[in-house]
Structure 1
Amino acid sequence: MNKKKVYLIGIGMGAESSLTKEAMDILSQVPVIIGAQRMIESFRNTSIWINREELGILPETYTQYLSSKIADYIKGLRHTTIAVLLSGDVGFCSGAKKLLQELEFCDVRLIPGITTVSYLASRCNLSWEDMCLTSLHGTSNPIINRIHHNAYTFTLLGGKDSLNGICKLLMEYGMDQVKLHVGERLSYPDEKIQTINPMQGYACKQHELAAVIIENPRPCKVIDSCKDDEDIIRGKVPMTKSEVREVSISKLKLTKDAICYDVGAGTGSVGIEIACKSPDIQVYAIEKNPEAIELIKENKKKFRADNLRVIEGIAPSALEDLPAPTHVFLGGTTGNLEGIVCAIWEKNPKVRIVLNAISLETVAQAIEFGKKHSEIQSEVVQLQVSKARTLGNYHMMTGQNPIYIITWYKE
């Protein structure tokens, strides 16, 4: 039995002018067309629809955006050729990704469309090959970290006031130097494109169909493996020193999409360091000391690490509502090492844990814990760091406290 042929068609921004010739040829012939309400309405305003109406060969239409329901509808069709309309391009922030999984019983072909980023960039006379591409549509994706490290950041906007939300964030993180190139109702007759700065915000009523290219004239180009201790706002709160951070974080073996806890975060130095590795990493800094909480928030703003969330409370109870971690750094356990680790294992038995221990009592406790749980693999590194200080014409080495870096993981 032949499979049904399904075309997933990217229709660009919505107006007929953003349809490709290939898409127009398919839409002039298919007997069934499926899509969200805006897609169907846009298609009904094209010359293709008008021509088919005049010829008396209008296609059947089904208004739907949920992938599973589209798949169920296609299963029940007698027709063997169907088109599904999708906004923009099928390869960028598109429903095509889920539909490909749902339509495994069909012969599916992707028909590319014009992406919003390419359209808006061309209207602003910008190249988009080096832009950071992301989306705030239906997600709370952290964006400040991306803007901080890129000259141009493109994002689809989600919600009627999301643009002013970005402006507020930019001002909060001290990024008033950026420019925002805002596009609304792109490709339609009432298309509007304008450039604003975060200080002035967006005075008009923002349309739901909106996107923005954020131009940062001074992006951070530094690739540092570890922040200098002097750069971190510390106060009187204990802080994990840079060389120790370097080794400890390397032992975590972070992945791009990691969900990481920094338990007993102190100044937040380790959590901030991890958050700055990639904006795709989610970091949760857990701390009970109110003074330290404020320092973490200050450092978060200073390093523009909006992918770090500050959690005030005592572990393990403070961990209950957090997503399961893939990696955990334990900087402080307040004497409840076993309780905290067991609570973390309940969330994810495969989590990788790195513990820093200064006192011999904590080391002894960690060793006993490792013996008690023979199913875990462990590694112990003792690190002693000395730094030179100048005394007249001489340089004297001053030793820091030795640190035990203990790694636990399960095969």
Structure 2
Amino acid sequence: MKKQIFIIGCGPGAPEEITGHGAKLLEICHGVYAFDRIGDLYKDFKEGIIKCSYQDIEEKIRSSKAQKMAVLVSGDVGFFSMAKRLDEKFRIDFDVFFTCGISSLQYLCSKIKLSYEDVRAVSLHGREGNLPGSIAYNRYTFVLTGGANNASKILKDLKQNGLSGIKVTAGELLSMPGERILCGTVEELSEISFDSLTVLLFENENCVNRDMPLFDKELSRNETPMTKQEVRWVAVNMMKIEARDVLFDIGAGSGSVAIEMARKAHEGLVFAIEKKDNAFELLCKNKSDLGALNVIPVFGEALEEIRKLPVPDKVFIGGSGGNLDKLVKSLYRANEDVKILITAITLETLTEALEAFKEINFETDIVCLNCSKSKKAGSYNMMIANNPIYIIYGEKNDK
């Protein structure tokens, strides 16, 4: 018969938060293992707890003679837990069982009397993540912090990125001595130092429905040219944008494409690059008015600015300033797997785009979009044609 391992979620910290079932299992287990913090917190709750690191636990469990063993993990076994990795380590040679616990999300929401079925949960504990998108498109966003991404740093970064007014609740040392729950805005709480054991719950009352397309009538306009909605809808869908993508909009103009892409990359970032003052001002206004918190406006020449930015997954080029070939090659050097979409009105730009893609051996897909829209003429509707637009999509040719 295989030995048994019970992986027990023991809540946010205090031993009294462990479930009754979890406590009964500890009584029948003769080898109980815990990682540093949990081991310290539970030392008076169960005698003989063996503290160890994640790297050491496999050797200790495999060398144990106990028939029934337990591993204590923080929070709940199904909520950003180490339980999954432990199961993968042991499930072939042991019978592994999960016992649920109280997550920090549950604990905090109960304290502030908030129902959490609509809360978007994000872990930045030892992970990279683009938080502005989650906040932009969800009423509530819960964040597990940790490591370099501690609560104080996260709040300062969000303030710097223009999210100062977003409401936030910080839960520090939950269930433990020194527990502190503070509510305020990002700006207010960014001035406070927090313990490393702190979670954050953001509330964005003006969150955007990311499933809705962006209509031209929603955008502020000036003399800056704008990619029309029908072209945006085709182009953005051709780019096959994924939730966590990092995107560039080069020649962003009014920001219409950047904002449309940002709804697709709702856990990612869109860097909207524009060099003209009046267009950049309009871009910033539309970003703010339409709640596109994961759009980062960048002022300057694209060839210079893209060197300072994260490596993109996908790039939209609506205006190149005469540097299309150089831009394509620079983007390809940064990431050979980058996907690039170019829109063109003139045959010359179409030819230049195809030549640039050919030189880096990109597979291309070309669409010519001819669109007419109705216009009232007395009691009649007249169809008025827009200029035909060429949409050129290119990606690495793996054939």
TM tier, smaller:
0.7 to 0.9
> TM-score when scaled to structure 2?
0.80
The equivalent residue for 1:55 is none
Query: Could you tell me how far 1:391 is from its partner in structure 2?
Result: 6.4
Q: 1:88, 1:94 within 8 Å by CA — same for their partners in 2?
A: yes
Q: 1:282, 1:308 within 8 Å by CA — same for their partners in 2?
A: yes
Equivalent residues in 2 for 1:4-403, closer than 5 Å: 5-46=4-45, 49=46, 52=47, 58-62=48-52, 64=53, 67-71=54-58, 74=61, 82-101=69-88, 106-107=93-94, 108-138=96-126, 141-158=129-146, 159=150, 161=152, 165=156, 168=159, 172-173=162-163, 175=165, 178=167, 180-193=168-181, 195-196=183-184, 201=189, 206-217=194-205, 219-221=207-209, 223-225=211-213, 227-289=214-276, 291-312=278-299, 314-315=301-302, 318-320=305-307, 322-369=309-356, 376-389=362-375, 397-403=383-389
Whole-Å Cα distance in 2 between the matches of residues 233 and 70 of structure 1? 59
Across the two proteins, how many residue pairs are aligned to each other? 393
Q: Residue 42 of structure 2 aligns to a residue in which SS?
A: helix
Q: 2:4, 2:67 within 8 Å by CA — same for their partners in 1?
A: yes
Gap change, CA 1:118 and 1:243, over 3 Å in 2: same
Gap change, CA 1:239 and 1:35, over 3 Å in 2: farther
Whole-Å Cα distance in 1 between the matches of residues 152 and 201 of structure 2? 16
**Higher mean C-alpha displacement, 320-329 vs 128-137:** 320-329
Tell me which amino acid in the other structure corresponds to 1:364: T
Tell me which amino acid in the other structure corresponds to 1:117: L
CA RMSD of aligned residues (A): 3.7
Whole-Å Cα distance in 1 between the matches of residues 129 and 241 of structure 2? 19
Map Cα deviations across residues 350-398 of structure 1 (whole Å, 9 max, x no partner): 443221012221112233445556x543222222334455567776654
Gap change, CA 1:73 and 1:318, over 3 Å in 2: farther
Whole-Å Cα distance in 1 between the matches of residues 204 and 304 of structure 2? 40
Query: Could you tell me how far 1:407 is from its partner in structure 2?
Result: 1.8
Gap change, CA 1:337 and 1:4, over 3 Å in 2: farther
Whole-Å Cα distance in 1 between the matches of residues 158 and 325 of structure 2? 44
Identity score, percent: 33
Q: 1:31, 1:60 within 8 Å by CA — same for their partners in 2?
A: no
Whole-Å Cα distance in 2 between the matches of residues 376 and 164 of structure 1? 41
> TM-score when scaled to structure 1?
0.78
Q: Residue 129 of structure 1 aligns to a residue in which SS?
A: coil
Whole-Å Cα distance in 2 between the matches of residues 304 and 347 of structure 1? 30
**Higher mean C-alpha displacement, 117-126 vs 78-87:** 78-87
Query: Could you tell me how far 1:249 is from its partner in structure 2?
Result: 0.6
Gap change, CA 1:73 and 1:290, over 3 Å in 2: farther
Gap change, CA 1:404 and 1:221, over 3 Å in 2: closer
Structure 2, unpaired ranges of 5+? none
Q: 1:35, 1:85 within 8 Å by CA — same for their partners in 2?
A: yes
Q: 1:267, 1:295 within 8 Å by CA — same for their partners in 2?
A: yes
Gap change, CA 1:332 and 1:394, over 3 Å in 2: same
Gap change, CA 1:96 and 1:308, over 3 Å in 2: farther
Whole-Å Cα distance in 1 between the matches of residues 286 and 240 of structure 2? 23
Q: 1:163, 1:206 within 8 Å by CA — same for their partners in 2?
A: no
Query: Could you tell me how far 1:88 is from its partner in structure 2?
Result: 0.7
Tell me which amino acid in the other structure corresponds to 1:152: Y
Gap change, CA 1:283 and 1:199, over 3 Å in 2: closer
Gap change, CA 1:235 and 1:326, over 3 Å in 2: same
Gap change, CA 1:378 and 1:238, over 3 Å in 2: same
Whole-Å Cα distance in 2 between the matches of residues 72 and 163 of structure 1? 36
Q: 2:32, 2:72 within 8 Å by CA — same for their partners in 1?
A: yes
Query: Could you tell me how far 1:144 is from its partner in structure 2?
Result: 4.3
Gap change, CA 1:306 and 1:72, over 3 Å in 2: farther
